[in-house]
């Protein structure tokens, strides 16, 4: 019951928000970038060090009032091995501060390959009788396009390690309808079939359902009573509290916001050195906004 | 016309094979693992160094008789930032040896996130007026589940940088049928709709079509005359030359084999220190097998 840890943390903080740590370099406060540039030049290593310091600052400012963080892998991967080092350091710091950590990579591949992803993210890498934890996050996101045998290795790892996966069902982006809403011969859209599969795949499998499609979110919440939801699309992508209110019934949900939180210092037009205060304020505002629809 | 470079290399080597550099640790010759373990202990750094030496050895043994290599990201990611360093070093060495390099991560995410992936893999990461190449591969693989707006940022990067993407259409794994073969209300399976979209997305977009489904491969080859194919599933996954013969018509195809090549030293039961000879022999055998159906 790997979602229980997350659900308990949501109850403790009375806040169903997961903060997206998505360090697009254009979001990183420039005083941090400049600090490391001066020390070691303009390169991927110094950029990654600025990312680490920024992420730690964000965590410092919110760890006591949010249950979880979600790291979007692309922003770390795009900085090369230094970026992955920043990913590792951020995970470590988030866990030390008691946060539930989700790695958002939306991976999907053949079984042996998914097993390797699973070992690295939520299990152990083993060789020569050594077992090593690599990223050791609490949950990872998965794309379902390749079907069950590509998800099964992760389910086995979740079972042993008390970890979880979130499978894409209906995503938050504008053209998610292009494939996901295609009507099948049974008269239902594709995402409904995916939803039924995800519900079958068991208690360690959550669903990603975009806040930007409130009708489908409501429909899926009813169809998948036993499935915990990860709901992206709040804030910068346009969704409001009213759009996500149905997500909280049944098994419950966590709402992701990234840019609206981590770029709060820009949105609130405060000095970038005060980014921590702005981040904390944005989280409190979001928590209060969500309270109005959680009842 | 970014596939032209690959097609030219296929003609030069008279070999439509891409070698999968998928360093599952259980595949790495143990004398290499032990060498680095002795030097720096059993850890992810020493394991990654063994991977680099093994990959370089494989490249040394085949660079003059194959056009391309494909690196499965999971096997590098699962070793943490040291693994990504091995990924970078392998790419560098492959390119120095004239090989076309495909990063196989099957990424898919919202537009801004895909842009970050694209910048890292096939474009430039830019900040403070600096443009930096990170992985700088020739092509990357993409999952289409989230639709066109998630692919568009990569198309823009391909256009500028003369790079390419391969989009999953019909994958080689056993349960690829679970979603990809679902019949839509128009009477056609989902993968046909995906195929039509991929064909529309333009000349820098190839298709991933599994060799393990020869009927669908033939059907898709006819339906997508202008699209270059990446065909996995040959060798260890079970497909034979006869299964891929239709792939070579129209725009053409490259056939991937991983375990059957890089583990040739195990399959041929030779001393693991002779892995280079075994690898080269496996490639020559595969090339000759494919010749029989290329005509």
For residue range B61-72, list pLDDT tens digits in order: 999 999 999 999
| Contact assessment for residue A38 and residue A30, using Cβ atoms and an 8 Å cutoff | no
| B85 interfacial to chain A (CB closer than 8 Å) | yes
- Separation CA B4–CA A165 (nearest Å): 40
What's the half-sphere exposure (Cβ side, CA atoms, 13 Å) at B226? 11
What's the CA angle centered on A147, arms A146 and A148, to 5 degrees?
140
Share the mean pLDDT of chain B: 96
What's the half-sphere exposure (Cβ side, CA atoms, 13 Å) at A41? 4
Find tokens 């891929």 and name the residue: B244
> Mind listing the pLDDT tens digit for each residue in B185-208?
999 999 999 999 999 999 999 999
A147/B179 touch (CB, cutoff 8 Å), yes or no = yes
> Mind listing the pLDDT tens digit for each residue in B223-264?
999 999 999 999 888 889 999 999 999 999 999 999 999 999
A147/B187 touch (CB, cutoff 8 Å), yes or no = no
- Separation CA A223–CA A4 (nearest Å): 21
Give which of A103, A125, A117, A104 is closest to A152, Cα–Cα: A117
A74/B109 touch (CB, cutoff 8 Å), yes or no = yes
Ordered per-residue pLDDT tens for chain A, 295 residues: 579 999 999 999 999 999 999 999 999 999 999 999 999 999 999 999 999 999 999 999 999 999 999 999 999 999 999 999 999 999 999 999 999 999 999 999 999 999 999 999 999 998 877 899 999 999 999 999 999 999 999 999 999 999 999 999 999 999 999 999 999 999 999 999 999 999 999 999 999 999 999 999 999 999 999 999 999 999 888 889 999 999 999 999 999 999 999 999 999 999 999 999 999 999 999 999 999 999 6
Give which of A75, A68, A69 is closest to A50, Cα–Cα: A75
| A112 interfacial to chain B (CB closer than 8 Å) | yes
| A92 interfacial to chain B (CB closer than 8 Å) | no
- Separation CA B57–CA B54 (nearest Å): 5
- Separation CA B149–CA B245 (nearest Å): 34
- Separation CA B3–CA B19 (nearest Å): 17
Enumerate the active-site residues of B: 106
| A132 interfacial to chain B (CB closer than 8 Å) | yes
Give which of B43, B46, B69 is closest to B56, Cα–Cα: B69
Q: Which residues of A touch B50 (CB under 8 A)?
A: none
What percentage of chain A's residues is helix, strand, coil (to nearest 5)?
50, 20, 30
A116/B143 touch (CB, cutoff 8 Å), yes or no = no
Find tokens 């309270």 and name the residue: A291
Q: How many pairs of residues across A and B have Cβ atoms under 8 Å apart? A: 219
Find tokens 């499978």 and name the residue: A167
For residue B295, give the 3-state DSSP assignment.
coil
Ordered per-residue pLDDT tens for chain B, 295 residues: 579 999 999 999 999 999 999 999 999 999 999 999 999 999 999 999 999 999 999 999 999 999 999 999 999 999 999 999 999 999 999 999 999 999 999 999 999 999 999 999 999 998 877 899 999 999 999 999 999 999 999 999 999 999 999 999 999 999 999 999 999 999 999 999 999 999 999 999 999 999 999 999 999 999 999 999 999 999 888 889 999 999 999 999 999 999 999 999 999 999 999 999 999 999 999 999 999 999 6
- Separation CA B268–CA B280 (nearest Å): 12
Q: Which residues of A touch B144 (CB under 8 A)?
A: 145, 179
| B197 interfacial to chain A (CB closer than 8 Å) | yes
A185/B180 touch (CB, cutoff 8 Å), yes or no = no
Shortest Cα distance, chain B CAs vs residue A229, angstroms:
18
Q: How far is CA A277 from the centre of its chain?
A: 22
What's the half-sphere exposure (Cβ side, CA atoms, 13 Å) at B195? 24
Pairing of strands A125-127, A130-132: antiparallel
- Encoded tokens for A81: 């091995």
Crossing angle, helix A44-62 and helix A275-294, to 10 degrees? 50
Residue A9 designated active-site: no
- Which residue of the set A9, A45, A106, A245 is catalytic? A106
- Separation CA A70–CA A105 (nearest Å): 10
What's the half-sphere exposure (Cβ side, CA atoms, 13 Å) at B156? 15
User: What is the greatest pairwise CA distance in chain A?
Assistant: 62
- pTM for the model: 0.98
Q: Which residues of A touch B109 (CB under 8 A)?
A: 72, 74, 104, 106
Chain A residues 7-36 within an 8 A CB cutoff of chain B: 22, 24-26, 33
Using CA atoms, how far residue A150 sits from A7, A107, A215, A257, in Å, is: 27, 10, 29, 28
* Residues in CB range of B135: below 8 A, 6 or more apart: A80, B87, B88, B91, B103, B120, B121, B122
> What ipTM goes with this model?
0.97
Find tokens 């980014």 and name the residue: A275
């Amino acid at each position: 019951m790997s979602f229980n840890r997350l659900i308990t943390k949501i109850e403790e903080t009375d806040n169903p928000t997961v903060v997206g740590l998505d360090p697009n370099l254009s979001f990183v406060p420039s005083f941090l970038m400049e600090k490391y540039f001066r020390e070691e030049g303009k390169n991927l290593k110094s950029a990654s060090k600025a990312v680490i310091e920024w992420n730690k600052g964000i965590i410092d400012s919110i760890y006591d009032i949010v249950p979880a963080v979600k790291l979007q892998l692309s922003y770390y991967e795009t900085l090369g091995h230094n970026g992955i080092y920043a990913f590792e350091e951020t995970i470590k710091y988030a866990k030390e501060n008691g946060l539930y950590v989700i790695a958002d990579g939306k991976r999907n591949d053949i079984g042996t390959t998914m097993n390797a992803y699973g070992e690295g993210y939520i299990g152990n890498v083993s060789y020569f009788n050594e077992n090593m934890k690599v990223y050791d996050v609490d949950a990872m996101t998965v794309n379902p396009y390749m079907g069950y045998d590509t998800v099964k290795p992760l389910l086995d790892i979740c079972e042993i390690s008390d970890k979880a996966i979130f499978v894409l069902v209906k995503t938050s982006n504008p053209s998610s309808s292009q494939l996901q809403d295609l009507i099948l011969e049974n008269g239902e859209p594709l995402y409904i079939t995916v939803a039924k599969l995800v519900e079958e795949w068991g208690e360690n499998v959550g669903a990603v359902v975009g806040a930007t499609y409130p009708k489908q979110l409501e429909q899926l919440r009813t169809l998948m009573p036993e499935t915990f939801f990860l709901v992206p699309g709040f804030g910068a992508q346009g969704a409001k509290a009213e759009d996500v209110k149905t997500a909280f019934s049944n098994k419950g949900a966590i709402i992701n916001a990234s840019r609206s939180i981590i770029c709060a210092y820009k949105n609130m037009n405060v000095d970038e050195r005060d980014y921590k205060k702005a981040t904390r304020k944005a989280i409190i505002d979001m928590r209060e906004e969500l309270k109005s629809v959680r009842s």
